[in-house]
Amino acid sequence: MVAFIVAIVFVLFYGATPPACAGENVTLAAATGELALLGGYGITHRGFGATRSQVQTVDAILRYGHFLSEEVGNGWYRGRHEIIVELPVHLTLDPRVRTMVGGYLLGSWKFSPGGNLSPYLLWGGGILINDLGLQTQGTRLNFSYQGGTGINWFFSKSTALTAEYRYHHISNAGTAEPNEPLNSSKFLFGLTRLH
> pLDDT tens for residues 6-38?
455 555 555 554 444 444 568 999 999 999 999
Whether the model pTM is above 0.75: yes
CA–CA separation, 167 vs 187, rounded Å?
A: 9
Percent of the chain with pLDDT over 70: 87
> What is the model's pLDDT at position 132?
87
Residue 134: Cβ within 10 Å count? 18
- Give the pLDDT confidence of 91-117 residue by residue, as tens digits: 999 888 999 999 999 999 999 988 899
CA–CA separation, 91 vs 57, rounded Å?
A: 5
CB-hemisphere CA count at 13 Å for 107? 4
> What is the model's pLDDT at position 186?
99
| Residue ranges of domains in the chain, CATH in brackets | 2-194 (2.40.160.20)
Degrees to nearest 5, angle at CA 82 with 78 and 84 = 150
Query: If we measure between CA atoms, which residue out of 129, 125, 126 comes closest to residue 100?
Result: 129
134 band by pLDDT with thresholds 50, 70 and 90: confident
pLDDT reading at 130 higher than 50: yes
**Sequence-distant (≥ 6) Cβ neighbours of residue 62 within 8 angstroms:** 12, 36, 37, 86, 87
37 three-state secondary structure = strand
- Give the pLDDT confidence of 72-82 residue by residue, as tens digits: 999 889 999 99
